């Protein structure tokens, strides 16, 4: 059960401690955290008082239950007599894709909400797999216009895994459901008798039911169904999965080194170079390595050490629902989202700027004393 008094106390601490530095958006964060914690109660999570004091999103999973998580993307299956877009026999579906380009700020805080990182997606896929793998879908409901008649009823879930920031649901009959978080999407897990609390009904994009669980996809921005042997179309354009057991750091370093003039922050955020890193881990990894995000790749000392350390940092956090780089769950980050506050090492004020990430601009945080290299241009 959720200790609601501890939750309330934790939120009060967050508002008092961070309200002056993050502005009014902390109120929206607190509202979301309450809803999220209530949702966790639906799937059997226990919220520790220590976690609530630290931040309202640190959870201690109950080993007897898979925990609910967020994951972006939902997909659905067409009728059994469909054929694949490639025209090959043996794949009983037509591939459909639905993408939402605009984000409505469903919870009132989306503009400041970071893109989920690889560890968040890994955690979500693991919980979904524990709940659904080996189970038969007893009912499905797809609320995406192009997939409104799709039906997965009767299919068995063979497994659910992540690759970088992507989630792949595999069903018997060589069918794969591909989802992606982006900014807004979420998968919630509920027991059949529980009320759904992930948002209003109009935000639901897909529902997958088994005898034991209901997996409900809210605000899923991308929906795609494909033949399992076509998964390379999704993951083939990505770099190595940072959380794969056999990730080849040397390959990642070689990929980064092919563009020596490119800013290291931009390169590490490029999913075609390495799949899974996001702004939090790149920011913290560069701080620990002592270079700014704008440092050219050619000027980064011991590139292999940077990638290895950042990878290990994410791997250490993936199963515990936190994204700490400091070793302290109460004060998780050195520089990320700490603009204007004192550096934990030297006392200098953490700075904020913008960095290129492909064709986009991303937030950047750095310590001007602890990190060498150029600043924003």
| pLDDT given at position 322 | 82
Does residue 365 contact residue 265 with C-beta atoms inside 8 Å? no
Does residue 153 contact residue 139 with C-beta atoms inside 8 Å? yes
pTM to 2 decimal places? 0.69
What is the secondary structure of 223-286 as a DSSP string? EEEEEGGGTHHHHTTS--BTT-TT--HHHHHHHHHT-TTSBHHHHHH-TTTSBS--HHHHHHHH
Does residue 93 contact residue 78 with C-beta atoms inside 8 Å? yes
- The ranges of the chain annotated as CATH 3.20.190.10 are 97-235
| pLDDT given at position 294 | 96
Query: What residue spans of 91-134 are helical by DSSP H?
Result: 118-132
Q: Catalytic site residue 362?
A: yes
Does residue 312 contact residue 277 with C-beta atoms inside 8 Å? no
- The ranges of the chain annotated as CATH 1.10.8.50 are 249-366
CA distances from 112 to 63, 86, 187, 235 (A): 32, 40, 20, 28
The tokens for 373 are: 């290299």
| pLDDT given at position 21 | 37
Does residue 286 contact residue 265 with C-beta atoms inside 8 Å? yes
| pLDDT given at position 355 | 87
Q: Catalytic site residue 116?
A: yes
Q: Catalytic site residue 284?
A: no
Q: Catalytic site residue 117?
A: yes
- Please pick, among 39, 66, 72, 116, the residue that the annotation labels catalytic: 116
- Please pick, among 127, 143, 155, 165, the residue that the annotation labels catalytic: 165
- Please pick, among 61, 72, 117, 219, the residue that the annotation labels catalytic: 117
| pLDDT given at position 171 | 96
CA distances from 186 to 89, 168, 217, 243, 282 (A): 33, 14, 6, 21, 23
State the CB neighbour count (10 A cutoff) for residue 77.
Answer: 27
Does residue 242 contact residue 122 with C-beta atoms inside 8 Å? no
- Please pick, among 170, 182, 255, 362, the residue that the annotation labels catalytic: 362
Sequential pLDDT tens for the chain (377 residues): 344 444 444 445 444 443 433 333 444 444 444 333 333 333 222 222 233 223 222 222 223 334 333 333 322 222 222 222 333 333 434 333 333 322 222 222 222 356 788 888 899 899 999 999 999 999 998 888 888 888 999 999 999 999 988 899 999 999 989 888 788 888 999 999 899 999 999 988 889 999 999 999 888 888 788 899 998 888 889 999 999 999 999 999 999 999 999 999 999 999 999 999 999 999 999 999 999 999 999 999 999 999 999 999 999 988 877 889 998 888 999 999 999 999 999 999 999 999 876 677 889 999 999 999 999 97
Closest CA to 30 of 17, 44, 45, 43: 17
- Radius of gyration over every alpha carbon of the chain, rounded to an integer in angstroms: 21
The tokens for 259 are: 């563009």
The architecture of the domain spanning 97-235 is: Alpha-Beta Barrel (3.20)
∠62-334-281 over CA atoms, to 5°? Answer: 65
The architecture of the domain spanning 249-366 is: Orthogonal Bundle (1.10)
∠359-268-177 over CA atoms, to 5°? Answer: 80
């Amino acid at each position: 059960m959720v200790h609601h008094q501890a939750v309330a106390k934790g939120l009060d601490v967050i508002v008092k401690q961070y309200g002056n530095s993050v502005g009014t958006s902390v109120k929206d964060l607190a509202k979301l955290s309450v809803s999220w914690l209530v949702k966790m109660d639906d799937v059997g999570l226990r919220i520790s008082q220590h976690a609530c004091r630290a931040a309202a999103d640190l959870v201690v999973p109950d080993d007897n239950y898979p925990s609910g998580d967020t994951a972006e993307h939902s997909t659905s299956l067409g009728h059994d007599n469909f054929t694949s877009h490639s025209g090959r026999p043996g794949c009983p579906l037509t591939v459909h894709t639905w993408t939402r380009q605009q984000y409505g700020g469903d919870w009132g805080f989306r503009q400041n909400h970071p893109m989920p990182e690889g560890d968040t997606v890994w955690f979500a896929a693991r919980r979904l797999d524990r709940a659904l793998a080996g189970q038969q879908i007893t009912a499905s409901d797809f609320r995406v216009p192009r997939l409104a008649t799709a039906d997965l009823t009767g299919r068995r879930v063979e497994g659910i895994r992540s690759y970088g920031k992507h989630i792949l649901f595999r069903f018997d009959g060589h069918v794969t459901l591909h989802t992606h978080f982006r900014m807004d999407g979420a998968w919630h897990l509920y027991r059949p008798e529980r009320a759904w609390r992930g948002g209003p009904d109009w935000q639901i994009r897909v529902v997958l039911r088994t005898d034991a669980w209901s997996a409900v996809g809210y605000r899923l921005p991308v929906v795609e169904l494909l033949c399992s042997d076509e998964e390379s179309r999704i993951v083939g354009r990505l770099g190595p999965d940072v959380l794969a057991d056999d990730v080849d750091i040397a390959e990642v370093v070689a990929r980064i080194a092919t563009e020596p003039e490119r800013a290291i922050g931009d390169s590490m955020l490029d999913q075609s170079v390495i799949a899974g890193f996001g702004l939090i881990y790149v920011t913290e990894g560069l701080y620990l390595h002592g270079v700014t995000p704008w440092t050219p790749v050619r000027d980064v000392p011991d590139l292999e050490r940077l990638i290895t350390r950042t990878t290990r940092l994410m791997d250490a956090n993936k199963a515990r629902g936190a994204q700490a780089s400091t070793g302290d769950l109460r004060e998780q980050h050195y520089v990320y989202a700490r603009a204007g506050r004192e550096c934990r090492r030297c006392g200098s004020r953490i700075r904020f700027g913008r960095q290129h990430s492909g064709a986009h601009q991303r937030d950047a945080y750095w310590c001007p004393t602890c990190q060498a290299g150029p600043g924003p241009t």
